[in-house]
A and B are shown apart, each in its own frame.
Chain A
Amino acid sequence: MNVRKRIPIVVLAVGGLVLSACSGGGDDSDPLETLDIMAPFYSEVPPEEDDPIDEALSELVGHDISVQWVPHSEYGDKVNVTLAGDDIPDVMVIEDKNQSFVQTAEAGGFWDLTDYLASGDYPNLVAENPEVQEATSVNGTVYGVYRARDVIRHSVILRADWLDNLDMDPPETTDDLMEIARAFTEDDPDGNGEDDTYGMINIEWPAAIGTGSPYDAIEVWHGAGNVWKDEGGTLTPSFETPEWKQAVEYEREMVENGYLNPDYATMAPEDWNTPFLNGEGGIIVDVQSRASQLVGLFKEQDPETFDQYVALAGQLEGPNGTYSMPTPGHKGILAIPKSGVQTEEQLEEVLTTLNNLNSTEAQNLMNNGIEGDNYTVEDGVAVRDPERQDFTDQVTGAWAQLGMNVAGYNAYPLAKETEFEQELEDLRLDLQSEDLENAVFNPAASLVSETYTTNGVQLDTMIADARIQYIDGQIDDAGLQDVFDQWHSSGGDDVLAELNDLYSELD
């Protein structure tokens, strides 16, 4: 009898337990004990909770820091899911201004930091490049401390031995690049007597525009602007400029002539280095750090001759002038949701902690690791201990990615293992300052159009797909025009109008 009566109670109890477990959380306005941060990682495995860096940082800032590491490939999805859930961290890395972020921010879900950061109370959070901070804002309102990154990263990476064999120089102009791509394809650059090489290596790029793809770079070099182009005070989408057309025709010519790998539209990104290493293709247009990566891979194959394979060239002069493609200069922001940090006192605490995370000491911890453990300092440069490479990889692949360094980067520079690598590093820095002078920034970076936040992904996909289809010869000029018309009618016109309204208010 007793057992029978208990059954419904058990049902209720079990159900109730599970339900209450779903709706956890609380609202305490006490000082924060633990600072919860959500951030992406790029290393193979994320650092463990309370790893040595975490402990050292926690001690340094006087707060227990707890980072929820999310694989970078699924970070964007995770942010959207987290924003829709209950368990919101105190600090969140926001990588792009998508709908869920903008809507949440405009509804008051994130602290407006514009005045706090401008006040100068947090000296390490005062932006060295105010334009970059402006670009991370939502129409001028700053919702976070940005993660500063190099402004110039793109370059042309070539097989140095092939250039030598053919007696050619690294390219200066886009015409040079075409000629080198031709020679790499047709003139047997590896001298084996067989027609087994091609010029440039491209990979399948996510269907988006203005995301640092080789196509984007070539368009900027031709003078098409950077996503948007200011023409007489109004913004025009760069794909509607004649220079853009010229650039895609250039790319189409490369494909038609077989100067590109045949699977350029479907090759997996992680395979990008392989044809270069194997001597199938000889040109990669990508970030400079890929050059050092390739040098490292060649060194693994042959420590004697590794310095003969990689040549690094700066961005190219186009037919219409010299333009170079910058990065946005940031990789998103560290925003502070109001659901976790509820009072102004708590906010000030969090900002103080972020300020401390930008001190030189913290920068060393986050970018180099633990001095005396995985690196030592010699003549002001950090020398890594190869025995502790796994730990170093974890630091550089995770903690370094969290770094903001908005007020400048003062950690020890890294010692290069060999003279060649040091030369490459010096060349990289030279090219950076040279290309910075011609950088073409996206004039609409800070502007958030409502239609774009709701339809942006489709609009961008439309253009990015049409670009590849045109290059591939699947569609012709008329087909391209159809896609542009469709872009205009399915929201593009609204985006244009909204952005131009905001743009005219800027000045």
Chain B
Amino acid sequence: MTTVLKVDPEPPRTRPGARRRRFLTDVVRYRWLIFMMLPGIVYFVLFRFWPMYGAHIAFKNYIPFLGIEGSEWVGLAHFEEFFTNPDFPRLLTNTLIVASLSLFIAFPLTIVLALLLNELRLTILKRTVQTLVYIPHFLSWTVVVSLTALLFAIGNGPLWTFFNDLFGTDSNMLADPDWFRPLILMQMVWKDTGWGTIIFLAALAGVDQEQYQAAIIDGAGRWQRVWHITLPSIRPVIIILLILQTGRFLDTGFEQIYLMSNSLNRDVADVFDTYVYFTGIQQGAYSYSTAIGLSKALVGVVLIFGTNWLAKRFNQQGIF
């Protein structure tokens, strides 16, 4: 598709009239492509751009009855309240830790699993394992958390017994603050690692097989082939996914954390996403929670640009 679009050289941009005619010709020429894009455009306009109009309630004291326009303008008051909130440092720490677990442990594990799957030579085994590791992705967090509760049930949960025997403890992991993050990580890895391999497997399928053959002739072992051929070949994909991932860095996921938190572990469990739920939805503090959401989005944008810039610094392909 890209080649089709690049056939015509850029026209000389002299007269505005010519430009408009040029644009219309383009529209006519690519009418079917544009037509196929329509659903996507409508989706983005309707569900991504149109709602942004409402984001400015972050600067207002929004009361639904008065409407967005009728509500009082308060400037940065909600942001100030959020950043000076005594809960803020705790929320930030918890969010950063959970986000780091996902970025620095769960994400690399996806690559590792993809590499492992790629090394399987027996197709039927490979396909079976692939399908099996995809399945957890389709379970909702509610189901995953219920499963966890069963596995860690005091007295008869198999994992409760296993870990307590292993460490010689007698703790209730579901309530123990020290166990909260390991549990979250385990769930994350179990649920989405398999699913995340899809894109890497696709990239791995595109690696030139002749290079492997050449390497084998040169006497390269499996590890050397992975290190010197496979990884460099999929590096662009890794970088792009990493950049996209950092954009969602602070999205720790609401459901999982919310369902796993309780009175005894809330100190380590509360993250921005659950806080937004408590204030925004439960208490109806729309403006305040919008301000938090906007701050989060801002951090996401900064991170995307930052990693993209870094990637380019190191002579890698960025996403824009």
Bits for B262-298, please: 1 = Cβ < 8 Å to A, else 0.
1110110000000000110111111010000000000
A109 at the binding interface (Cβ < 8 Å): yes
Decide: B42 and A207 in contact? CB cutoff 8 A.
Answer: no
Q: How far is the CB of B174 from chain A (nearest CB, A)?
A: 5
B27 at the binding interface (Cβ < 8 Å): yes
Decide: A107 and B86 in contact? CB cutoff 8 A.
Answer: no
A443 at the binding interface (Cβ < 8 Å): no
Q: How far is the CB of B240 from chain A (nearest CB, A)?
A: 31
**A/B interface sample: 5 pairs, CB < 8 A:** A3-B31, A19-B46, A262-B154, A265-B263, A490-B87
Bits for B65-109, please: 1 = Cβ < 8 Å to A, else 0.
110000000000000000001110000000000000000000000
A453 at the binding interface (Cβ < 8 Å): yes
Known: A11-B41, A453-B283. 12 other contacts (CB 8 A): A7-B31, A7-B34, A19-B50, A99-B283, A100-B284, A103-B65, A109-B65, A204-B263, A265-B264, A454-B283, A464-B263, A468-B263
Decide: B281 and A77 in contact? CB cutoff 8 A.
Answer: yes
Decide: A4 and B28 in contact? CB cutoff 8 A.
Answer: yes
B172 at the binding interface (Cβ < 8 Å): yes
Residues from chain B with Cβ under 8 Å of A343 in the complex: none
B198 at the binding interface (Cβ < 8 Å): no
Number of interface residues of B (CB under 8 A): 40
Closest to A268 in B: B149
Q: How far is the CB of B290 from chain A (nearest CB, A)?
A: 11
Interface residues of A in 461-496 (CB under 8 A from B): 461, 464-465, 467-469, 472, 474, 486, 489-490
A339 CA to B67 CA, complexed, in Å: 12
A15 CA to B85 CA, complexed, in Å: 42
Closest to B71 in A: A107
Decide: A490 and B27 in contact? CB cutoff 8 A.
Answer: no
A71 at the binding interface (Cβ < 8 Å): no
Residues from chain A with Cβ under 8 Å of B283 in the complex: 98-100, 453-454, 456-457
Interface residues of B in 40-71 (CB under 8 A from A): 41-42, 45-46, 50, 63-66
Residues from chain A with Cβ under 8 Å of B264 in the complex: 265-266, 465, 468-469, 472, 474
Bits for A54-68, please: 1 = Cβ < 8 Å to B, else 0.
000000000000000
B175 at the binding interface (Cβ < 8 Å): yes
Q: How far is the CB of A105 from chain B (nearest CB, A)?
A: 9
Q: How far is the CB of A490 from chain B (nearest CB, A)?
A: 5
- Given the interface contacts A98-B282, A207-B263, does A107 sit within 8 Å of B63 by beta carbon? yes
A120 CA to B307 CA, complexed, in Å: 69
A14 at the binding interface (Cβ < 8 Å): yes
A497 at the binding interface (Cβ < 8 Å): no
A408 at the binding interface (Cβ < 8 Å): no
A221 CA to B174 CA, complexed, in Å: 30
Q: How far is the CB of A463 from chain B (nearest CB, A)?
A: 10
B38 at the binding interface (Cβ < 8 Å): yes
Decide: B279 and A457 in contact? CB cutoff 8 A.
Answer: yes
Interface residues of B in 155-202 (CB under 8 A from A): 155, 172, 174-175, 177
Residues from chain B with Cβ under 8 Å of A207 in the complex: 263, 266
Decide: A263 and B154 in contact? CB cutoff 8 A.
Answer: yes
Closest to A465 in B: B263
Among the stretches A38-46, A79-87, A178-186, A427-435, the one at the interface with B is A79-87
Residues from chain A with Cβ under 8 Å of B27 in the complex: 4, 7
Q: How far is the CB of A189 from chain B (nearest CB, A)?
A: 19
Residues from chain A with Cβ under 8 Å of B28 in the complex: 4
Residues from chain A with Cβ under 8 Å of B177 in the complex: 474
Q: How far is the CB of B89 from chain A (nearest CB, A)?
A: 12
A101 at the binding interface (Cβ < 8 Å): yes
Closest to B66 in A: A107
Decide: A76 and B282 in contact? CB cutoff 8 A.
Answer: yes
Bits for A12-40, please: 1 = Cβ < 8 Å to B, else 0.
00110011000000000000000000000
Q: How far is the CB of A501 from chain B (nearest CB, A)?
A: 22
Residues from chain B with Cβ under 8 Å of A486 in the complex: 86
A199 CA to B279 CA, complexed, in Å: 37
Contact of B42 among A18, A84, A268 (CB under 8 A): A18
B153 at the binding interface (Cβ < 8 Å): yes
- Given the interface contacts A104-B64, A263-B174, does A83 sit within 8 Å of B31 by beta carbon? no
Residues from chain B with Cβ under 8 Å of A85 in the complex: 64
A108 at the binding interface (Cβ < 8 Å): yes
Q: How far is the CB of A504 from chain B (nearest CB, A)?
A: 26
- Given the interface contacts A109-B65, A263-B174, A266-B175, does A103 sit within 8 Å of B262 by beta carbon? no
B227 at the binding interface (Cβ < 8 Å): no
Decide: A262 and B86 in contact? CB cutoff 8 A.
Answer: no
Bits for B225-242, please: 1 = Cβ < 8 Å to A, else 0.
000000000000000000
A139 at the binding interface (Cβ < 8 Å): no
Residues from chain A with Cβ under 8 Å of B172 in the complex: 262-263, 265-266
A234 at the binding interface (Cβ < 8 Å): no
A342 at the binding interface (Cβ < 8 Å): no
Closest to B284 in A: A100
Residues from chain A with Cβ under 8 Å of B263 in the complex: 204-205, 207, 265, 464-465, 467-469
Q: How far is the CB of B86 from chain A (nearest CB, A)?
A: 5
Residues from chain A with Cβ under 8 Å of B284 in the complex: 80, 83-84, 98-101, 103
Decide: A265 and B175 in contact? CB cutoff 8 A.
Answer: yes
Residues from chain A with Cβ under 8 Å of B46 in the complex: 15, 18-19
- Given the interface contacts A100-B64, A107-B65, does A11 sit within 8 Å of B38 by beta carbon? yes
A241 at the binding interface (Cβ < 8 Å): no
Residues from chain B with Cβ under 8 Å of A3 in the complex: 31
Interface residues of B in 4-57 (CB under 8 A from A): 27-28, 31, 34-35, 38, 41-42, 45-46, 50
Residues from chain B with Cβ under 8 Å of A453 in the complex: 283
Residues from chain B with Cβ under 8 Å of A465 in the complex: 263-264, 266-267
